[in-house]
A and B are shown apart, each in its own frame.
Chain A
Amino acid sequence: MLKESLKLLVENNKAVLKFEGEVIFDNSNQLKEEAKQMLSKNEGVNKLVIDLANVSYLDSSGVGLILSLFKFMRNKKGTLAVAAANEKIKRVFEVTKLQEIIPVYAGVEEAMEEEPV
């Protein structure tokens, strides 16, 4: 995945982090570092939605990346949600029960509207 394909859109205290392609072992570490750098520059963000609309596949390293961002947001008293995942990725969250910890929404707008718990 190219660097420019990782985008952070900030609106007040909410942000959408958009990944593209496959999030796998080969790129997950770099993506994690870049995402954390972007988020560190936007300290006011307390709600992060990961937009997976253009992500075709997540392997266990990709899941590791999302868990790392989950902890990152939790450490700053924020929340994290996942949105627009394809059926395959939704199944990963369902089977591994991660959706009980990280909310999964059908679309980004819906995820953004939901108030942090």
Chain B
Amino acid sequence: MNLSLMLLLLFLMTALIIVLAVKIMIDKKDFRKLESQAEIKNLKLKEQHGKIKELEDDLKSKLKKARNIHQRMLPDKLAEPADYFISDYYQPAEYIGGDYYNVFKIDHGALDSFFDQYLLYFFDVSGHGIDSTLLSIFVNDSIENYFKLRHSPGEKISTSKLMNYIDQRYQNEGFPDDYLVCLFIAVLDKKKSTLNYSSGGFQYPIYKLDQEEQIKEINIGGLPISAALGALPDSREEQTLNFEKNNTLMLSTDGLLEQSNGQQQYFQQLQGILKKYKFLPAPFLKDLIRSDFYKFTNDSPGKDDITFLLVERPAGEIINCIFDQENNNAEAAEIKEFLDQNLWSEHPLLQTFKDIITDLLKNPEFKLKIKALNKQQLLMFSLENLNDKTGWDSILNYYPDLISIAEKDLNRSQNGEADISFNKKEIYFSHTASNNRMYLMLIKEDDLN
């Protein structure tokens, strides 16, 4: 090989090395550039994630606040006529819902003794967001306004006209077309033993339980209140139900009844429960339905708010008294006499039951509102501490064997219904959600169900 060829090869190799070196440098530069771009994108992504998290937290915080507002709106205590028991249950959906209910005594001023009436209502607004809470506030406000502005003491209350008033106000507010309000409004007239009601939008029935007869399913239905439909005056007629002794009404928004467990809706199971356990007083029937429902859903929270009310007009003897230090002798004697009724004095747990009540009566911090029910199958005491809401723990600590159906893991019969045997060997207790009322129950006859 001659020298010139070798020089040419050397030159070519040097050139190749230089080209490769330049290429590597360029690639490295590109790589750094890409790396830097990736870092920038990463930073931007982190920033976006941060913003999304911030928005999520903000939304959750707003939903929490709205949920608190909604919870605070719900009545702490429902007005309860002396010879009735009213029990309520409310569990909001995952975020917040739009269910609401209330019972209050209608003010007839000086004519109160002629009109012993209570307004009872519940409603469900579609959706579960902040909007639904605001809509709930609006509907509730409309009902309260009606009684402040449109109702005069002594005047007959038409639930149909009240519906018209709410509908008209709703139309004036310009709510979106796809929102709707399902509403049930009733006047419980104690003098006439009737419940006059108007309803709109509910798909599911209410139930009338009669101890002597079959359960009656009442389709309340009616047109919902909606901006898409416009005002529909007088389309939701007033209906009348007789509400005699021994009757219980089960009222519910759709959430409880339409809940599915993948195989069936709770609606299909509830009737069996009501039929089997209709002898229970409202507070205990409420606990049983609650337990049965969560067993049905396998403890998962419902997609919708779960709201139901039980309004019971029991048969049997009822005494009502307020027990405080000023009148303790007279009231204590009445309660003692009530407890000593010889009809069932041989009950094995009567003494324990008496001890619990007597202990409560001795407590000077308690101003107790007592309502006692004595009927053929059972005895129940409703105890409300008018001074404090947290006074029951000491009783529960001192009598740990008291049975709560709400906390009981229910067995099921072959057809899927709750299977619990109420018996003479237990004292059952229940309390309201706000804990202001406690109930104690003693069963007099075994095998009631």
The answer, among A61, A71, A100, A101, for a CB contact under 8 Å with B126, is A61
Q: Counting CB contacts under 8 A, is A86 at the interface?
A: no
Q: Which residue of B lies closest to A60 (CB)?
A: B126
Q: Do the beta carbons of B182 and A97 come within 8 Å of each other? A: no
Q: Do the beta carbons of B180 and A64 come within 8 Å of each other? A: yes
Interface of A is mostly: helix
CA distance A88 to B39 in the complex (A): 56
The answer, among A26, A29, A97, A101, for a CB contact under 8 Å with B222, is A97
- List of A residues within 8 angstroms of B180 by Cβ: 60, 63-64, 67
Q: Do the beta carbons of B219 and A95 come within 8 Å of each other? A: yes
Question: What 1/0 flags go to A21-37 for Cβ under 8 Å of B?
Answer: 00011101100100000
The answer, among A65, A92, A94, for a CB contact under 8 Å with B178, is A65
CA distance A39 to B280 in the complex (A): 54
Quick one: which of B294-351 are within 8 Å of A by CB?
Answer: 303-304
Q: Do the beta carbons of B177 and A98 come within 8 Å of each other? A: no
Q: Do the beta carbons of B228 and A25 come within 8 Å of each other? A: no
From known contacts A68-B177, A70-B228, infer whether A96 and B203 are also in contact, taking CB-CB under 8 Å: yes
Quick one: which of A24-79 are within 8 Å of B by CB?
Answer: 24-26, 28-29, 32, 59-61, 63-65, 67-68, 70-72
- List of B residues within 8 angstroms of A60 by Cβ: 124, 126, 180, 182, 201, 203, 224, 254
Tally of A-B Cβ pairs under 8 angstroms = 77
- List of A residues within 8 angstroms of B258 by Cβ: 59
Question: What 1/0 flags go to A5-31 for Cβ under 8 Å of B?
Answer: 000000000000000000011101100
Q: Do the beta carbons of A96 and B221 come within 8 Å of each other? A: yes
Q: Counting CB contacts under 8 A, is B24 at the interface?
A: no
Measured as residues with beta carbon below 8 angstroms from the partner, the interface class of chain A is 20 to 34
CA distance A29 to B131 in the complex (A): 13
From known contacts A25-B126, A65-B178, infer whether A101 and B223 are also in contact, taking CB-CB under 8 Å: yes
Q: Do the beta carbons of B178 and A95 come within 8 Å of each other? A: no
Q: Do the beta carbons of A25 and B303 come within 8 Å of each other? A: yes
Question: What 1/0 flags go to A82-99 for Cβ under 8 Å of B?
Answer: 000000000110111110
Q: Counting CB contacts under 8 A, is B293 at the interface?
A: no
Q: Counting CB contacts under 8 A, is B431 at the interface?
A: no
CA distance A28 to B182 in the complex (A): 17
Q: Do the beta carbons of A96 and B223 come within 8 Å of each other? A: yes
Q: Counting CB contacts under 8 A, is B395 at the interface?
A: no
Q: Counting CB contacts under 8 A, is B396 at the interface?
A: no
Q: Which residue of A lies closest to B128 (CB)?
A: A25
Q: Do the beta carbons of B178 and A64 come within 8 Å of each other? A: yes
CA distance A91 to B97 in the complex (A): 25
> Separation in Å of the B171 CB from the closest CB of chain A?
12
From known contacts A59-B258, A59-B304, A71-B177, infer whether A97 and B223 are also in contact, taking CB-CB under 8 Å: yes
Q: Do the beta carbons of B226 and A64 come within 8 Å of each other? A: yes
Q: Do the beta carbons of B222 and A96 come within 8 Å of each other? A: yes
The answer, among B200, B228, B304, for a CB contact under 8 Å with A68, is B228
- List of A residues within 8 angstroms of B442 by Cβ: none
Q: Do the beta carbons of A95 and B126 come within 8 Å of each other? A: no
- List of A residues within 8 angstroms of B179 by Cβ: 64
Q: Do the beta carbons of A95 and B226 come within 8 Å of each other? A: no
Quick one: which of B380-405 are within 8 Å of A by CB?
Answer: none
Q: Do the beta carbons of B228 and A98 come within 8 Å of each other? A: no
- List of B residues within 8 angstroms of A29 by Cβ: 178
> Separation in Å of the A55 CB from the closest CB of chain B?
15
- List of B residues within 8 angstroms of A67 by Cβ: 177-178, 180, 224, 226, 228-229
CA distance A33 to B205 in the complex (A): 32
CA distance A98 to B229 in the complex (A): 10
CA distance A26 to B128 in the complex (A): 10
Q: Do the beta carbons of A25 and B229 come within 8 Å of each other? A: no
Q: Do the beta carbons of A59 and B178 come within 8 Å of each other? A: no
Q: Do the beta carbons of B229 and A68 come within 8 Å of each other? A: no
CA distance A98 to B200 in the complex (A): 10
Q: Do the beta carbons of B221 and A95 come within 8 Å of each other? A: yes
Q: Do the beta carbons of B229 and A101 come within 8 Å of each other? A: yes
- Counting chain B CB atoms within 10 Å of each CB, which of A64, A68, A91 scores highest? A64
- Counting chain B CB atoms within 10 Å of each CB, which of A59, A65, A100 scores highest? A59
The answer, among A32, A59, A101, for a CB contact under 8 Å with B254, is A59
Q: Counting CB contacts under 8 A, is B127 at the interface?
A: yes
Q: Counting CB contacts under 8 A, is B202 at the interface?
A: yes
What would 16 A/B residue contacts be, using CB atoms closer than 8 Å? Answer: A25-B128, A29-B178, A60-B201, A60-B224, A64-B126, A65-B178, A67-B178, A70-B229, A71-B227, A72-B177, A95-B203, A96-B202, A96-B221, A96-B222, A96-B223, A100-B223
Which residues of B are at the interface with A, using a C-beta cutoff of 8 A? Answer: 124, 126-128, 176-180, 182, 200-203, 219, 221-224, 226-229, 235, 254, 258, 303-304
